[in-house]
Chains A and B, each alone.
Chain A
């Protein structure tokens, strides 16, 4: 740390405090023994964590979110593999436009997508259904899956594939035995990043979730709109804990910097 002067370190300390304070306060207040919002001073209590069990709406919403995120991320990765191979390996008219279209959910505000999906699903009879939620989440997590699959497809050594072909492997065998194992790390991290994005999504989902298909962030949001109490704080603390575990695992396996900054030419578009 020697290259930074005292002023820089003071700034850094304030900055990290600014970033962490709101997150830590949620985790601290969640342990309050009182019936109202307060920082536990003399003792900590798990009463508000136990209280979550009495509110099935949070439990149901949690499982909705998990299934939704798992399904939509898996399907998005499935769609993104051939698309990434097409973009990484072929030079064709419309490639740029196609890439821009696939990455567009990053740029179109989620509130606009939420409105568009609400109108669309209501018209075609999928309003408020789980199928509708999955379809919409596939679209919003697709750019994340595509970017990571793309960067592993671009970075791959084609010579191994050519060797397999010259040894007489069929197209399908080359894909299953050579290409797929080589891009598997990109696939897995793409799925994981897509999972988190879907699990956290609230702005778009709030428009299209019906009472039976509400996700956890939407349930928390609607709850907070009415009142803020220690219960929603303990639920939030659980969500933060789950995310942090996920984050550390992802950082160990793939590297957070690589995941977010990206390598290869798939990003920046």
Chain B
């Protein structure tokens, strides 16, 4: 920060007070209540009983249904993160080498979808590949390229592809931001000293944008692991991930304590993974600039 005054006692707290009260009242208290809820008991007829037991947690730990669901969530998130990094990082680099006005236009085209409703974007994938009426499937069937429609709806592949599309702009954004800090003269110097284009990419560009790729990866992973609308629409009612399972427990089965336990586990797992990765990125980042 540039113009920071020395603390004048209570002034900053008075200024930030209203927002702080709001956050304590409407974020911290509800989150604490949710953690508490995950320890409550529940029965079909008795409803929620405010006792402190480990029943829900034991169910999640023991039941293979939950293992399978969390493994699927993890698998999907890892794949989506890898796809986003492998496609998004090169695209950000290409974008950065473009000249205006193309640069500005394509930046708008690629980042703009970030602000378009996730439901509308996922619907697009359902229209492209959904069964025999899907646009792509229909065209391929008519051309005789395939004999049966490509399986997309209600498959993990479908969820991975659609989620990669939904979250791709975050990766491009993050790598783009890292590229803006890169001095083009370093690249030119390497080329002038006789380095091939590939060597410049590998030895000069990649190490410097790696923090951007990693922090973009963390964002994409976190959002993929907790994604709801896309897996719900593409995966249907059977192929559950953590978020859609919690939704089911809350609004269909009405077993709120179990749903709360799933949500709390998701939150804790994400925090552990994010904090761990952040440490790694910071260590790496330090190495890059030694």
Contacts and interface: CB of A to CB of B under 8 A. Distances in A.
Nearest to A136: B26
Contact of B228 (A111, A116, A136): A111
A24, A86, A136 pick with most chain B CB within 10 angstroms: A86
Interface in A222-251: 224-225, 228, 232-233, 236, 239-240, 243-244, 246-248, 251
A211 to B, nearest CB: 13
A146 to B, nearest CB: 8
Contact of B177 (A1, A3, A158, A261): A261
- Interface majority SS on A: helix, strand, loop or mixed? helix
A25 B12 contact: no
Contact of A203 (B7, B37, B94, B243): B243
A144 B17 CA distance: 19
A247 B112 contact: yes
A204 to B, nearest CB: 9
Interface of B: 1-8, 11-13, 15-20, 22-23, 26-27, 29-31, 33-34, 37, 87, 90-91, 94-95, 97-99, 102, 106-128, 130, 133, 135, 162, 165, 168, 173, 176-177, 180, 222, 225-229, 232-233, 242-243, 246-247, 250-251, 256, 259-260, 263-264, 266-267, 270, 274
B165 A22 contact: yes
Given A82-B15, A123-B33, A111 B263 contact: yes
Contacts of A82: 15-19
Nearest to A38: B133
Given A19-B110, A119-B37, A196-B115, A158 B130 contact: no
Interface residues of A, number: 93
Contacts of B165: 18-19, 22
B27 A139 contact: yes
Interface string A128-172: 000000011011001000000000001000100000000000000
A202 interface: yes
B259 A115 contact: yes
B108 A105 contact: no
B106 A16 contact: yes
Interface of A: 1-4, 8-9, 11-12, 15-16, 18-26, 29, 36-39, 79-80, 82-83, 85-93, 95, 98, 101-102, 104-105, 107-113, 115-120, 123, 135-136, 138-139, 142, 154, 158, 196, 199-200, 202-203, 206-207, 217, 220-221, 224-225, 228, 232-233, 236, 239-240, 243-244, 246-248, 251, 256-257, 260-261, 265
A214 B126 CA distance: 23
B7 A90 contact: yes
Contact of A98 (B16, B99, B115, B117): B16
Contacts of A98: 16, 20
Q: Which of B15, B116, B162, B263 has the most CB of A within 10 A?
A: B116
B30 A102 contact: no
Contacts of A26: 120, 123-124, 127
B87 A15 contact: yes
Contacts of A207: 247, 250-251
28 contacts: A3-B98, A3-B99, A9-B94, A12-B106, A19-B165, A21-B128, A22-B165, A23-B116, A39-B135, A80-B19, A82-B15, A88-B1, A89-B3, A90-B12, A104-B27, A107-B222, A110-B226, A119-B30, A119-B256, A123-B33, A142-B19, A142-B23, A200-B117, A206-B247, A239-B116, A256-B112, A257-B107, A257-B111
Contacts of B177: 261
Contacts of A79: 18-19, 22
Contacts of A243: 115-117
